[in-house]
Structure 1
Amino acid sequence: MDSNTLPATESRNWLREKMDNDEIDLLALWNTLWRRKWSIITLVFIVMVLTTLVVMSITPIYRAASTLLIEQKGARVLSIEQVYGVDGSGNEYLQTQFELLKSRALAERVVRRLNLHTHYEFDPAQQEPPLVDIRGMLKNFDINQFIPGIVPEDLEEPIPVSEDEIIERVTRAFMERVTISPVGRSQLVRINVDMADRFTAAAAANALAEGFIDGQLDASMEMTMSATTWMNSRLSELRLNLQTAEDRLQSFRDAEGIVDVGGILTVTASELSATSDRMIDARRNRAEAESEFRQVQAMRSGGWERLASIPAVLSNPLIQTFKAEEARARARVDELSSRYGARHPAMEAAQSDLNAARASLRTQVEQIVAGIERNYQLSVANEQSLRRSVEENKEQIQDISRKEFQLRELQREVDANRTLYDTFMTRLKETTATSDLETANARIVDRAVVPEHPIKPRKSLIILISGIMAGMFGVGLTLLLSALNNTFKSIEEVENKLNLPVLGILPLLSKKDRKAMAHMFSENKDKTFAESIRTIRTGLVLSGIDKPHKVIMVTSSIPNEGKSTVAANLASALGQMESVILIEADMRRPTMARSFEFAPGTAGLANLISGTATLEEAINIVDGIDVLSAGVVPPNPLELLSNPRFKEVLDKISQKYDRVIIDSPPVQAVSDALVLSTHANAVVYVIKSDATARPLAIKGVGQLLQSNAPITGVVLNQVDIRKAKKQGYNYGGYYDYYGYSGGNKA
């Protein structure tokens, strides 16, 4: 529905809904993606091709796996495992075994057993050189002569590496290729080795399983041999340590005369807490007294009047009473001074009362100030006294706490030595009866076999994921660019966002001067442009078939959108059928004088309104139409257009011509267009394609609708037809396709 058929209230409500509507238009998003479909498909194809080339160049990795069964040992009465703290049951035990399978020592055992440090996957000398040899380039190019010290000296002569360092490096690299994973909720564990050499991968997986079992047996035998000897020697040391700790504890009790430290500490702590609470109150009172004292000190130089303005003084009831008396006395003096002279008895009595009130107020202020100073001194003294008491209590508590700490430390040492001695005595008796230290707790269930198929890279999945990611990136980039470009690019966008009909579109022209743009229709140099102007003319005429539009205003959102060009060429098109006058009402930035090459100082609309020129003197004939330029630019164009004289001039012109075309200033620049719209029968709104921001146009149309402007339709100006067709926009019905010539387009 055409917006000018809506009531003004409904139009304003529609515009408000348009500006506040934040819903996502899925159809618009789909159209945006559809217009860029080939770009997105091309991006996906290129990324998938590149990914395929990269994936094909990656070395395949094989995984060999062996399976171990780690048996949980039941708790035995006499077991050496309790000597070194290994529990043979529970999830913690199994987790410990898993971590042992990941240990560096086991990995080093396998590296030495299989001589992996000579394998081509771990020996850099046997690997293919990198595509870009940075070390070689730096060695051949002495950059130190340009920037001294930037290249370390070791790049010139490599430092020899020992065999142990090589083994350590290979061990770390081999550990990165090993993964240990439990099998479900069982006691089985799978040892996985990932390598490019599938035969070595199987051998390494089996070697890890065998090495783990060998390590368990070796550890058990070693502990069996050393446990008894070590515990015997250690037991004698523990006995001596226990005796020494007990002697030190007793000596400390005797030396300090300690009976009960806890009771004394509790009483002293209670006194300290009470004193601390009192000191906190005293500190708060001192802070308040100090604040009042600082205010007094700051105000003392200003006399007793400034002291009376201090909040502590002002809040005193007596001060408020004396101030009230002073105010009444002053009011009495002010009242009598308007009737009597200074020597009148009533005036002298009132002045005497005022002086007495001020003296009383001053005396009371000085007394309160003196009280504030005394209160501050007492607060400071009280705080210092309480602080000394707190410090004395702290010193006493600290002394008792030090003794208590030493006593408890000695007691803990005695308890720890006694517990350790009893534990070792028990474990020594158990160890002598242990008979199963040489058994292993693991066995191989499945040995690793040579894998047939690599586990990575998963080429098809990688290529598919890369295509999906490229597609998502293309879609996201397309939507982002579309969201950032919030301009009008199609007829549908104009009609959907503004709810206004599009009268026509004007193609993007090659760069021309302003004079050529104003004469494009009359000179008929561009067939496409001329046909587009005729389409706009037809739409404008048909929109007022029942009630012809006498006064037509052409405006836009901001300057440089082509409204003056549209107005001039539309006037030329209408001038072929009717008597037309083109009025330049944009008196802030007039352009018609330059476009039509009027002589400097040519009279125009401003002269006509101000009465300094007649209509015949101000009108110029150009291309078969009458043109009324702006004339001498006034200092107050808005006041001139709001003058009743302008309406009289416009009515007079309307009686003489069939059509009156008004070139109006932009809506967003000044408010002149809103004033002019009240005199128009039709308003043509010009929008520059791919340049005018949607919020600006919506706001401009809204301002016109709020002023009850009869907006007839929109002209989409400077449309790049080639670019628009590539992006999938269609202008059928608004653009003369058969008259289109690509040679004269930008």
Structure 2
Amino acid sequence: MESSAPAVERKLIAPRQDEADDEIDLLKLWRTVWQRKWSIFSLVLAVTLVAVLVVLSITPIYRAAASLLIEQKSANIVSIEQVYGLEGAGSEYLQTQFELLKSRTLAERVVRQLNLTTHPEFDPRQQPEPLIDIRGLLANFDISKLLPFTLPGDLGGDAELGEGRIFDQVTDAFIERISIVPQGKSQVVKVQVDMADPRTAALAANALANGFIEGQLEASMDMSMTATNWMNSRLGELRDALKVAEDRLQAFREAENLVDVGGVVTVTAAELSQTGDRMIDARRQRAEAESQYRQVQSMRTGGWERLASVPAVLGHPLIQQFKAEQARASAKVEELSRRYGPGHPAMIAARTELSAASASLQAQVEQVVAGIERNYQLAVANESSLQSSFNANRSQIQDISRKEFQLRELQREVDANRTLYDTFMNRLKETAATSDVNSANARIVDLAGVPTVPVKPRKALIVAIAALLALFIGVGLTLLLDALNNTFKGTEEVENRLNLPVFGILPMLKTHERGELARMFTKDTDKSFSESIRTIRTGVVLSGIDNPHKVMVITSSIPGEGKSTVSVNLAFALGQMERVLLIDADLRRPTLAKSFDFPVGTPGLANLIAGTAKLDECVRQVDGIDMICAGTVPPNPLELLSSQRFAKAIEVLKHKYDRIVIDSPPTQAVSDAVILSTLADSLIYVVKSASTHIPLVEKGVGQLLQNNAPVKGVVLNQVDIKKAKKYGYSYGGYYDYYGYSNNTKAAKGKAKAPAASKAQPEAEIA
């Protein structure tokens, strides 16, 4: 059972708590703010009044503006942009001009021109005395002795400011009042000066514009003079360099005896080209001759007949002619041999002719072969001769080319120096001719006029912003305080967070007397309180209509939540219908005897359990109900409540009374309530509205549920009805604050029915 109890508690409490945390009730937030509307309004009104006083005390600031047109590109009189860097570069150029307008040099120029060091608005010697003279306090207290370093002159030295220091401070203050505002995408810019003195502001704006233009002219003149001086010195250097280059070129020509290098190179190149062509032909001829020579050499071992079969020999016309004669002689011998014998004169003559033809052919073959060998030797010699000539021409050309390259290099150096010298000479003449002409890249479009309307402070806007911030702060603080007030303020919160029914609420009472609070129901001086008690009684009775709760324990989280008041008044309400016994079980801080002025030493619950008094001696009857006070406070209250004698006493009292109401100690103070809950049929938990923290209540209820206590419901005590209505909590379902409601009377009638039915058997038993 103990292990399952925490799970039951989480199941009952956690879901609704998570749902309530995830949802934002805007209506509730609005009601919270609306409840504090007068506090928020007071805060807004106070801040607004302070803001009005502050803006009225602020010195008005006037703004004077002069318009300047900044040319995208200044006039190029000197025309050497690489030297000056004056050529326009779009937005970067304009941004540069804007920074020049805000430069310290220009500001110092205006400060000197207008003598602002003596102006009351800038001169620190004419400033009003501060409310707290920190300097005077520090002068009386020598702090320098306490520090390991030396203080600046303002604190540790002379208090008088030097002229240079004053000028620097005035310049810094003046720069802070300058603003440069471009006009859209145009080249027009406004130079604005903010000052308390409108006339001085206009003079300063115009002085800035004029000073910027004059500064541009002076800078142009200075740069022209600087450029002229620089070009004069540079021109002398270029002249010397040109003279050195020309001398070096002439010396090289004389040393190499060069007159017309271009012509020599051209002739030599033509000869080299012709020699190359001839060498190519010689190589081709040598290759052909070598081929024939190789063929002839390969056929020498086979006799002249094989030499005659060489294509180069065979193709010779004479060889072909002699071969034809040999063939005719051979054919003739062949023909005669068929007709005559070998010794025939015709055959002999034919053979002689054939031998002569063969000898002639052989001789001719040998001559052709010798001619081939001679041609090959001539081709080789011709090729070698041409190769030597080509190599000689090529060496000569390379030597001339090297001289030509060196000569041209010297010539280029001379030409470059001459060109640079001529350029600087021309620019120097232009600069000298135009040095007395000044040109600026800006001009004034509109001079600044004396402003008549201040630009700041914007009083209405400041006051409106202050009021708006005060409103936001007020609303934020209200919501923050409401969020930090983590207490139960309505029945819906109790039911959602604890998942327990609310039997009723009790309104906040004006009286704080213990005796009056205990008799509020019986005296019926507060109708709303009496109706609230009846509503709680109805809820208690109806919650146990099938199984009446005889023993009821009433407890709370901490002392001071009104559980004793609820116990007493609920017991009186139940006593109108049933036999009721009220027991003060808070043995540590008993209240029942004090509330009803019981005599000192009256025996009570502690005496009954300890056996020092009988039941009749402990019971006191007050206004129709029986009461047992705490009695003599024991040193061990928990042991008494845990004893078997107390349990037996409760069992005996159950048979004597219809309802037993036990006033228990708080759950967070001691564990007596847990012990008492084991003997009870129901437990009512009292929560003080807008006072007891929610986690404390959840912890107390959780402890009881973990011990299987029969927690049946909650009573929300000390509810400020009017304040609750402002928060949007409605309790019409519980009771009518201005009289008896029909719902309450009906519930009361239902509550009497079971009491009457129960009284009848008791009468029969009696």
Same fold, judged at TM 0.5 (above): yes
Flag the structure with larger Rg: 2
User: Partner amino acid for 2:568?
Assistant: A
* SS of 1:440 mapped into structure 2: coil
Partner of 1:657: 657
The Cα of 1:657 is off from its aligned counterpart by 1.0
Check whether the contact 2:153–2:159 (CA below 8 A) recurs between aligned residues: no
Cα 1:442–1:76, aligned 2, differ >3 Å: closer, same or farther? closer
Partner of 2:116: 116
Within 5 A, what are the aligned runs for 1:115-154?
A: 115-123=115-123, 129=128, 132=131, 134=133
The Cα of 1:472 is off from its aligned counterpart by 0.6
The Cα of 1:119 is off from its aligned counterpart by 3.9
Check whether the contact 2:28–2:727 (CA below 8 A) recurs between aligned residues: no
Cα 1:433–1:497, aligned 2, differ >3 Å: closer, same or farther? farther
User: Partner amino acid for 2:131?
Assistant: V
* SS of 2:223 mapped into structure 1: helix
Write the deviation string for residues 265-284 of structure 1: whole angstroms up to 9, x where unpaired. xxxxxxxxxxxxxxxxxxxx
* SS of 1:572 mapped into structure 2: helix
Cα 1:631–1:464, aligned 2, differ >3 Å: closer, same or farther? same
Partner of 2:53: 53
Q: Distance in 2 between matches of 1:625 and 1:52?
A: 68
1:448 to 2:470 alignment = no
Q: Distance in 2 between matches of 1:160 and 1:200?
A: 27
* SS of 1:561 mapped into structure 2: coil
Partner of 2:428: 432
1:689 to 2:689 alignment = yes
Cα 1:157–1:738, aligned 2, differ >3 Å: closer, same or farther? farther
The TM-score, its normalising length taken from structure 1, stands at 0.61
Q: Distance in 1 between matches of 2:623 and 2:109?
A: 101
Partner of 2:572: 572
Q: Distance in 2 between matches of 1:28 and 1:131?
A: 49
Within 5 A, what are the aligned runs for 1:677-716?
A: 677-705=677-705, 709-716=709-716
The TM-score, its normalising length taken from structure 2, stands at 0.60
Cα 1:171–1:584, aligned 2, differ >3 Å: closer, same or farther? same
Partner of 1:408: none
1:64 to 2:60 alignment = no
Unaligned runs of 5+ in 1: 1-6, 239-423, 740-746
Q: Distance in 1 between matches of 2:585 and 2:494?
A: 26
The Cα of 1:470 is off from its aligned counterpart by 0.4
The percent of aligned pairs where both chains have the same amino acid is 57
Write the deviation string for residues 270-305 of structure 1: whole angstroms up to 9, x where unpaired. xxxxxxxxxxxxxxxxxxxxxxxxxxxxxxxxxxxx
The Cα of 1:646 is off from its aligned counterpart by 4.9
Partner of 1:13: 11
Write the deviation string for residues 53-78 of structure 1: whole angstroms up to 9, x where unpaired. 32233333222222222223389797
Q: CA RMSD in A?
A: 4.8
* SS of 1:578 mapped into structure 2: coil
User: Partner amino acid for 2:15?
Assistant: E
* SS of 2:662 mapped into structure 1: strand
Q: Distance in 1 between matches of 2:120 and 2:169?
A: 14
Write the deviation string for residues 241-280 of structure 1: whole angstroms up to 9, x where unpaired. xxxxxxxxxxxxxxxxxxxxxxxxxxxxxxxxxxxxxxxx
Partner of 2:44: 44
Write the deviation string for residues 8-50 of structure 1: whole angstroms up to 9, x where unpaired. 9987523122444532333332221111112112211222222
The Cα of 1:232 is off from its aligned counterpart by 6.3
Q: Distance in 2 between matches of 1:208 and 1:145?
A: 44
The Cα of 1:580 is off from its aligned counterpart by 0.9
Check whether the contact 2:201–2:450 (CA below 8 A) recurs between aligned residues: yes
Partner of 1:584: 584
Check whether the contact 1:178–1:192 (CA below 8 A) recurs between aligned residues: yes
Q: Distance in 1 between matches of 2:692 and 2:672?
A: 20
Q: Distance in 2 between matches of 1:64 and 1:691?
A: 62
Q: Distance in 1 between matches of 2:216 and 2:231?
A: 22
Q: Distance in 1 between matches of 2:571 and 2:96?
A: 93
Cα 1:522–1:444, aligned 2, differ >3 Å: closer, same or farther? same
User: Partner amino acid for 1:474?
Assistant: G
Q: Distance in 2 between matches of 1:676 and 1:138?
A: 71
The Cα of 1:705 is off from its aligned counterpart by 4.7
Partner of 2:369: none
Check whether the contact 1:71–1:442 (CA below 8 A) recurs between aligned residues: yes
Cα 1:641–1:144, aligned 2, differ >3 Å: closer, same or farther? closer
* SS of 2:696 mapped into structure 1: helix
Q: Distance in 2 between matches of 1:613 and 1:718?
A: 37
Check whether the contact 1:554–1:663 (CA below 8 A) recurs between aligned residues: yes
* SS of 1:83 mapped into structure 2: helix
Cα 1:201–1:647, aligned 2, differ >3 Å: closer, same or farther? same
Cα 1:425–1:691, aligned 2, differ >3 Å: closer, same or farther? farther
* SS of 1:654 mapped into structure 2: helix
1:626 to 2:633 alignment = no
Write the deviation string for residues 392-427 of structure 1: whole angstroms up to 9, x where unpaired. xxxxxxxxxxxxxxxxxxxxxxxxxxxxxxxx9999
Unaligned runs of 5+ in 2: 239-419, 741-766
Check whether the contact 2:506–2:529 (CA below 8 A) recurs between aligned residues: no
Q: Distance in 1 between matches of 2:94 and 2:608?
A: 103
Cα 1:543–1:38, aligned 2, differ >3 Å: closer, same or farther? farther
Q: Distance in 1 between matches of 2:644 and 2:568?
A: 26
Cα 1:117–1:20, aligned 2, differ >3 Å: closer, same or farther? same
Q: Distance in 2 between matches of 1:575 and 1:119?
A: 93
Cα 1:560–1:428, aligned 2, differ >3 Å: closer, same or farther? farther
Partner of 1:209: 209
Within 5 A, what are the aligned runs for 1:329-478?
A: 432=428, 435=431, 438-478=438-478
Write the deviation string for residues 132-168 of structure 1: whole angstroms up to 9, x where unpaired. 37389879xx967999999999999996656555443
The Cα of 1:692 is off from its aligned counterpart by 0.8
Check whether the contact 2:232–2:428 (CA below 8 A) recurs between aligned residues: no
Q: Distance in 2 between matches of 1:731 and 1:130?
A: 64
User: Partner amino acid for 1:94?
Assistant: L
* SS of 2:478 mapped into structure 1: helix
1:505 to 2:506 alignment = yes
User: Partner amino acid for 1:53?
Assistant: L
Cα 1:147–1:218, aligned 2, differ >3 Å: closer, same or farther? closer
Check whether the contact 1:550–1:659 (CA below 8 A) recurs between aligned residues: yes
The Cα of 1:219 is off from its aligned counterpart by 1.4
Write the deviation string for residues 351-372 of structure 1: whole angstroms up to 9, x where unpaired. xxxxxxxxxxxxxxxxxxxxxx
Q: Distance in 2 between matches of 1:636 and 1:162?
A: 86
